[in-house]
Amino acid sequence: MAQYSQSLLDDIRGATDIVDLVGRFVNLRKAGTGWKGLCPFHAEKTPSFTVNPRKGIFHCFGCGVGGDAFGFLMRQDRLSFPEAVRALAKTAGIALPGQGGDSGRDELLKAIGLAARFYQAELARPTGERARAYLEQRGIDPEVAKTFGLGYAPEGWDTLLGYMRSEKIAEETLITAGLAVQRENRAGAYDRFRGRLLFPIRDLQGRVVAFGGRAFGDEQPKYLNSPETPLYTKGNLLYAADLARPAIQTQNRAFLVEGYVDCLMCHQYGFTGTVAALGTAFTPAQLGLLRRYCDEVVTFFDADAAGQKAAARAEELLEPTGGGMAWAVNRAGAFEGGRTFRVKVALLPAGHDPDTFLRASGAAAFTERVTAARSLLSYALDRAIADPDGATGARARATAFARVSLMLAKVTDAEEAAAISREAAARLGVDGTQLWIEAQRLQSSLRTPVVPPLPGPSLSTPPVERDLVALLLHSAEARTPLLALLAESDDLAHGALRAIVGALKRRPDAAAESLMTDLETDEARSVLSSLLVEDRESVDERVSIEQFQRRLERSQRLRRAREVSQSIAETQAKTGVAAPMHTELRTLHQESAVVYGITGGVAQSLEHGTSGSPRSSDE
């Protein structure tokens, strides 16, 4: 199925928010750690369609359809696999081979990884003394600097170029990776970063894909960032997302700051669920990244600029993404449904940012500010109601009504939608019913129509085989001993399970969900998704491995015994019944004895006409 490198497919899958993708076609509601809705691929009244954002997969327990983001788009829009890859790569801003000049993704990753190690080593050398002094002045702990991989780009026009030549990295690769700049009037290139403290920017897999370089003193520009490359689109990543993700998932909350040092200082003071927006306006892609891992984001503004900045940030976050219906109004007139995702603003004293406030007041005071945070939407409502020209009267109220209705249509949280509609109605002097009717009309116009479904596969699988493959998918420890014993054609009767095990044998270290693109059929992908989303009983993993190991060893021995028995029969048929077969018979007996031993039985003796206690295989 896969026509692209596995690392590229993993990048696209990792950059795609499957909840947001599916939410364009399905009204999803939070259900535990996942999302649930009515299946778009068959008619149902009770939701049985689930989306697991942690694993990036979907599965319907009603019709059995399942897969990853590629599979959903293929089925929903009736696309081929390459078409789905191109569509998701375009949305994620990831260049494909032959598109955007990608001359080798792995080579670019290698080059930028080498550069990161080079810069980090330079920070520890005498040449990095100025950068180390700056870090000490800013109060950044050396261990935090090491965790974030901070480095130093030494002075000189070709210091990095010289190092890369020794590593056999082509100059063209460095230019494509954004590490070097092509000279304008003559051949050759020069180092992009010189005399700067460097902040490596990593993707969600923890791989360095770009750098932010900070100058010292009054040098300009103060910050010099990597250009956009086949590896890096600045609006698609969040600084430190790879480090912050575990804390964000555990706490179900993210802290969003503006600068690299703000982010480092938050981590240093124990707020490890902090990310930074890489100096860009906050984008829908970055919002989607956070929505995948938590239900609440807290952002920070100083008191003087809070109103203007918060309103602008709210407008960024409320940009329509082509999603499905955010909420509905039930027969009792109450808001229901929608995704619970809230953004709050924590106010800091005038002139402070998270870095300066933490160093001045400490973690406890910072926590108090977080606790007192207000909804970002309250600022957006202020701006929506206020006329930009200061006009009043019926026309101004009508225009404000339209702006509030549009804002309300984009709000994804039913509870916040209800609160905003009540406040707005009171301030505008209108009936709240009018507001939500108009907002629902706007929601409907934003919704993408659903494509008629394709039929789903049958997922009936033998229970023992299903348990075995589930163990292999969920336990890395099980793969080494069990995969070596498994013969798919003999041990697994179900074709889809055979395909999954075959993919595991080819890539035994792969994450289970990444095997989706290794599987050729819808049935195999659906079986894999069902194995990944189903609730598994708590079992002793080591005991399960031992039990399946004995079972597979028995199966292997029986296969060998059958092969020897067949060989004896064929030889005797050709040469006569009396043909001597001592070696083959002893092999057959040994295999049978082991099988009987595994199952607790008693093997027949080689002595004719007798039976007795089991003999050792060396007799």
Domain at 105-232, CATH homologous superfamily: DNA primase, catalytic core, N-terminal domain (3.90.980.10)
**Number of CB atoms found within 10 A of residue 523's CB:** 19
Residues 6+ apart with CB under 8 A from 317: 282, 287, 343, 376
Instruction: Categorize the per-residue pLDDT at 43 as very low, low, confident or very high, splitting at 50, 70 and 90.
Output: confident
pLDDT tens across 446-475, in order? 554 544 444 444 456 788 888 888 888 888
What pLDDT is recorded for position 572?
65
CA 618 centroid distance within chain? 54
pLDDT tier at 367, thresholds 50, 70, 90: very high
Highest mean pLDDT among 137-141, 231-235, 307-311, 420-424: 137-141
- 154: CB partners within 8 A, 6+ apart: 122, 127, 128, 194, 195
207 pLDDT higher than 70: yes
Q: What is the pLDDT of residues 423-436, one digit of tens each?
A: 888 888 888 788 87
> How many whole angstroms from its chain centre is CA 197?
29
Q: Which residue has the higher pLDDT, 325 or 219?
A: 219
Q: Specify whether the CB–CB gap between 416 and 342 falls below 8 A.
A: yes
Instruction: Count the Cβ atoms, other than its own, within 10 Å of residue 388.
Output: 8
| Residue 76 CB partners (closer than 8 Å, separation 6+) | 25, 40, 450, 451
CA 319 to chain centre: 22
Per-residue pLDDT, 271: 98
- Tell me what the mean pLDDT of segment 62-75 comes to: 90
Residue 474 amino acid letter: H
pLDDT, mean over the chain: 80
Measured CA to CA, the distance from residue 225 to residue 232 in angstroms comes to 11
Note the pLDDT of residue 287.
Answer: 79
What pLDDT, on a 0 to 100 scale, did the predictor assign at position 489? 66
- Among 5-19, 228-242, 298-312, the range scoring the smallest mean pLDDT is 298-312
Confidence band (pLDDT; 50, 70, 90) for 340?
low
Those residues whose C-beta lies under 8 Å from the C-beta of residue 246, and which sit 6 or more positions away, are 272
Model confidence at 93, in pLDDT bands (50, 70, 90)? confident
The CATH superfamily assigned to 6-92 is Zinc finger, CHC2-typedomain (3.90.580.10)
* Mean pLDDT value of segment 82-96: 85
Q: Could you give the count of Cα atoms lying within 13 Å of 263 in the half-sphere of its Cβ?
A: 27
DSSP string, 102-115: BS-HHHHHHHHHHH
Q: Residue 212 belongs to what H/E stretch?
A: strand 208-214
Beta strand residue intervals within 57-137, DSSP E: 57-60, 66-68
| pLDDT of 302 | 76
For strands 254-257 and 274-276, give the pairing: parallel
Q: Is 604 exposed, middle or buried (0-12, 13-18, 19+ CB in 10 A)?
A: middle
